Amino acid sequence: MSPLVISAWSATSPFGVGADPFRAGLEAGRSAVEPVDRETHPGPFEQAALVPEFTAARYVGKKGTRTMDRVTALAVTTVGGLVKDLTDELAAHPEQTGLVLGTGSGSVQSIMDFTRDSLVGERPYHVDPARFPNTVMNRAAGQGAIWHRIKGPNTTVAGGTLTGLLALSYAVRLLRGGHCGRVLCGAAEEYSTQRAWLEWHGRAEEERDTPLGEGSAVFLVESAEAAEAAGRTALAAIGAVRFRACAEPEGAATARRTLADCVRGALDAAGVGPENVRAVLPLAGGGPLATQEAAAVRDALGEARPRWTRLRDLVGDTSAAATSLQLAAALAESGDRGLAPGEAALITGVDRDGMVGCAVLTGAGARR
Amino acid sequence: MVYDDGQPPRRVVITGLGTVTSIGLGAPAFLAGLRTGRSGVKPITTFDTTGFAHANGCEVADFDPREWIHRIDTTELGRATQFSVAAAGMAVADAGLTPQELGERRVLVSVGTTDAESGDLDGLARTQLDEGPERWAPGVVRRAQAGRLSSAVVRELGLVDVEALTIPTACAAGNYAIGSGFDAIRSGEVEAALCGGADAVCRKTFAGFYRLGTIAPEVCQPFDKDRKGILTGEGAGVLLLESLESARARGARIYAEVLGYGLNCDAHHPVAPDQDSLARCMEVAHRNAGVKAEDVDFISAHGTGTRANDVTEAGAIRQVFDTPPPTISIKSMIGHSMGAASALAAAACALAITEDFIPPTVNHRETDPECALDCVPNEARAARLDVVQNNALAFAGNNAVLILGRVREAA
Amino acid sequence: MTTTQQLSADDRARIKDIICDILEIEPDDMTDTSRFKEDHEADSMGAIEILSQLERAFGTDIDQAELATMVNLEAVVRVVEAAVAAKSAQAS
């Protein structure tokens, strides 16, 4: 099988809807974090990075979106940014395209609003049936498929901050297993009051204040052969996606060793030397784990001096969408032609639950 | 097909089963329940059911997490995660492995779910109403994440070279998780996989199904003329997968071989299943597994017991099979355990192959002529099974069909 | 035995609004007898949503068995009238 490549991507981010505003915001190094309207967004945070002016009605359409929640609208919009280039393929063989979408725990706002209705209603079943599917965690992926008529495998993936990397790994496995010809793969996360409170309580004291962000990034993954046949530029080859677990999740010290091992393994699997890594895009989650993450990458890369992009400084903590947006940033930085042959980008993440992961993207011209 | 390492695909077998169900903890108890057609139905106790005209379910009683979970403080885990971790531990032990031995291998942990820890979110919503969100307990917040269902398995077993993947593809998630494990071993990407699904009964999901009019007042009767809907259930099923070569090398007991699976999406309606699309998914699975419809000796149906599911699923089966094989639903016994459902059904299929029997569809009085299937009513049936099919459907039209088979010598 | 009492014009308008909102159509496009499914593309979820919203709006219980009869505005009004009557009969 020819190498798997990313041949298109789309992002909905605090910089705006689409790949172009994302690239522009990133290039300008502009922070999208702003004070939030406390009326619409009560909760523990004064600031956040929201997708500007984003509503389902505006970006997905008025019809059929009355009960669509925000994370679903973000996902449907982002997937929409890619399917416009796939119209013929989707019409001819809708079952040959898969959709793999990462989520934290679905829309916690939708889930908890539904429970609230059950608790406060005159009857415990006085809930809105049309909103019940919103409370099931495969809603965004499912609506993405329904909206865009994508009939291949439709999978929802979760794994904290590593979610985007897990979605990519799952997509690679799906393609290698021959379950479809191409996969749209990424993750989405919404800003909501409930998520804000959950993040606030879930975080360690020292990372409490990092503002939340939201957004979605989706990639078209297919074989180099298929991309070429369709006339799409292979922007990057997926060199490797790897994960490891810290022996002692509570001790941040083991995160450094674990991630360094993970990165070395991934570089090795991708056939990439540390000197080829031109860009590093860490999760940079804040607190001791971020320090460990940076140290681990330096340990693994040795003398190499790549460019570092800490997306979180610009778009806030996007939780389950973070590593997908980091992948998108790696592609955004590499321009329309993608990564050059012999060039590699490293995307890393460290999760509070003791898992670490990384992806190595390489110039698609550089065959192993 | 040849993978990148130049190796042909490995054959994938099931060598360990872990089951947490309302009819028994552990594979032997689950097997005994399936053989005798035990029912796990009783009034729901997880949440206050005042105001619902009926509230039966299939909860796991007598589950003491500390009996099964040793490394992690069990209060750090929500109920679904406790089930997942317990079932994973059972599967490893059942495979005759120690966590240390497993930890020396590259492993994939993939756990499917519908609700993850929505039960904890229910509790937090209650606290929010009574005292405000400022009063939430951080420990509960931290454990209320879908990712925990797989990452806690990693922590409990002390695995290191491992990917922890949670697949919240709702009620078909178990088959998705097993499928991903199958692919990972087949390609040589990992040496072992712990895969399955877990869920816990929660108010949110009960209220939702109740509102849709799909909760049965007393019992679940798949394919019956008088079926009245689902019963929400809970539990976990985890399978240990490894290559046939690896299982043989260590002299492991092999339950069954995973022959393949198929996934597709109706891309049509958020909750109503689509017969043609489901039929296509079965065909995709048959192709992936290298079997023909006539090879299938029995089908473990999604069989929720709702009017819509059973008639659509039966229709799809008759579309694909000229003569449908016996088709049963273990949901008649353990209710609808959501993300665990197809994983537990897969475990039941593996046991059926090993023990030469077809589990019954209990609570059965008269088969719906619109379904017209032999659902092995009320009593298990002795049968030698070579190829079995496990169906799973989910909201959003997510279909997943898994094919298991008896291990034969030549591939 | 419950007697049906006629709903006020306001209540009828409220029912119509709820249904039009769910079916995403303009009130002008719906008549007393236009059919939800055939004329307004309602599906099973739409029907159950209508029942659910009406229960909440009028504080009544409507048997799901009534779904089969709730095919147009006129029929829904009759069902709600019966449900409201049943409720007041219970209360008295």
- Is the pTM above the cut of 0.90? yes
Please judge whether C52 and A128 are an interchain contact, meaning their C-beta atoms are less than 8 angstroms apart. yes
pLDDT for position C1: 47
Has residue C3 been placed in a domain? no
- Interface predicted TM-score (ipTM) of this complex, two decimals: 0.97
Mean pLDDT of B199-207: 98
Please judge whether C55 and A129 are an interchain contact, meaning their C-beta atoms are less than 8 angstroms apart. no
Of A124, A137, A154, the CB nearest to B116: A137
Name chain C contacts of A68, Cβ cutoff 8 Å: none
- Cβ-contact A130, A204 below 8 angstroms: no
Domain ranges in chain B are: 12-249, 260-404
CA–CA separation, A88 and A229 (whole Å): 13
Q: Which residues contact A115 (CB under 8 A, 6 or more apart)?
A: B118, B121, B122, B125, B126, B203, B204, B207
Mean pLDDT of B357-385: 98
Has residue C77 been placed in a domain? yes
Q: Which residue has the tokens 């291990």?
A: B407
Report yes or no: C2 at the A interface, CB cutoff 8 Å: no
- Span B12-249 CATH architecture: 3-Layer(aba) Sandwich (3.40)
Instruction: Tell me, yes or no, if B58 is annotated catalytic.
Output: no
Q: Which residue has the tokens 């040959």?
A: A96
For A57-81, how does the pLDDT look when each residue is reduced to its tens digit (9 = 90+)? 999 999 989 999 999 999 999 999 9
Name chain B contacts of A157, Cβ cutoff 8 Å: 165-168
Percent over 70 (pLDDT), chain B: 98
Of A94, A120, A151, the CB nearest to B129: A120
Instruction: Tell me, yes or no, if B302 is annotated catalytic.
Output: yes
Q: Which residues contact B403 (CB under 8 A, 6 or more apart)?
A: B258, B259, B260, B261, B285, B286, B288, B289, B291, B296, B387, B388, B389, B390
Q: What is the dihedral sign for C-alpha B249, B253, B259, B264?
A: negative
Hey, how many other C-beta atoms are within 10 angstroms of the C-beta on B142? 18
To the nearest whole Å, the CA of B392 is away from the closest chain C CA by 21
For testing contact with chain B, the best of C37, C44, C52, C55 (most B CBs within 10 A): C44
Mean pLDDT of chain B: 97
Cα dihedral B236, A246, A282, A8 in deg (nearest 10): -40
Has residue C2 been placed in a domain? no
Enclosing domain of residue C27: 9-91
Instruction: Determine which one of B195, B202, B281, B302 is catalytic.
Output: B302
CA–CA separation, A326 and B122 (whole Å): 32
Q: Which residue has the tokens 């993954």?
A: A221
Q: Which residue has the tokens 């789309």?
A: A10
Q: What is the dihedral sign for C-alpha B293, B297, B300, B305?
A: positive
Residue B248 backbone dihedrals phi, psi, to 5 degrees:
-65, -40
The residue in chain B having the minimum alpha-carbon distance to the alpha carbon of residue C49 is: B212
Has residue C20 been placed in a domain? yes
Q: How far is CA C52 from CA A61, A72, A116, C40, in A?
A: 25, 23, 16, 19
Please judge whether A126 and C52 are an interchain contact, meaning their C-beta atoms are less than 8 angstroms apart. yes
Hey, how many other C-beta atoms are within 10 angstroms of the C-beta on A128? 18
Residue B304 backbone dihedrals phi, psi, to 5 degrees:
-75, -25
In this prediction, residue B410 has a pLDDT band, given cuts at 50, 70 and 90, of low
Hey, how many other C-beta atoms are within 10 angstroms of the C-beta on A302? 10
CATH of A237-362, one of 3.40.47.10, 2.40.37.10, 3.40.50.720, 3.40.50.300: 3.40.47.10
For B120-174, how does the pLDDT look when each residue is reduced to its tens digit (9 = 90+)? 999 999 999 999 999 999 999 999 999 999 999 999 999 999 999 999 999 999 9
- H/E element, B315: helix B307-320
- Name the domain count of chain C: 1
- Domain harbouring C39, CATH code: 1.10.1200.10
Q: Which residue has the tokens 């504080």?
A: C59
- Cβ-contact A309, A333 below 8 angstroms: yes
pLDDT for position A247: 77
Three state DSSP letters for B225-252: CCCCCECEECEEEEEEEEEHHHHHHCCC
- Cβ-contact A353, A255 below 8 angstroms: no
Has residue C1 been placed in a domain? no
Please judge whether A174 and B183 are an interchain contact, meaning their C-beta atoms are less than 8 angstroms apart. yes
- Taking CB atoms within 8 Å and a gap of at least 24, the contacts of C12-15 are C12/C77, C14/C57, C15/C54, C15/C57, C15/C73, C15/C76, C15/C77, C15/C80
Instruction: Tell me, yes or no, if B171 is annotated catalytic.
Output: yes
- Is the pLDDT score of C76 beyond 90? yes
In CATH terms, the superfamily for domain B260-404 is Thiolase/Chalcone synthase (3.40.47.10)
Nearest Cα to A317, choosing from A7, A33, A112, A54? A33
Residue A200 backbone dihedrals phi, psi, to 5 degrees:
-55, -50
In this prediction, residue A368 has a pLDDT band, given cuts at 50, 70 and 90, of very low
Kindly report the CATH number that applies to the domain delimited by A4-229.
3.40.47.10
Spell out the alpha helix ranges (H) of A29-66: 56-59
CA–CA separation, A190 and A60 (whole Å): 15
- Cβ-contact B376, B269 below 8 angstroms: no
Has residue C70 been placed in a domain? yes
In this prediction, residue A286 has a pLDDT band, given cuts at 50, 70 and 90, of confident
HSE value, Cβ hemisphere, 13 Å, CA-based, for B234: 29
- For chain A, strand residue ranges (E) read 4-13, 16-17, 34-35, 47-49, 97-102, 154-157, 182-189, 212-213, 215-223, 236-245, 277-281, 307-308, 344-350, 355-362
pLDDT for position A367: 41
Q: Which residues contact C50 (CB under 8 A, 6 or more apart)?
A: C18, C19, C22, C36, C42, C70, C76
For B300-353, how does the pLDDT look when each residue is reduced to its tens digit (9 = 90+)? 999 999 999 999 999 999 999 999 999 999 999 999 999 999 999 999 999 999
Percent over 90 (pLDDT), chain C: 66
Name chain C contacts of B214, Cβ cutoff 8 Å: none
Name chain B contacts of A163, Cβ cutoff 8 Å: 147
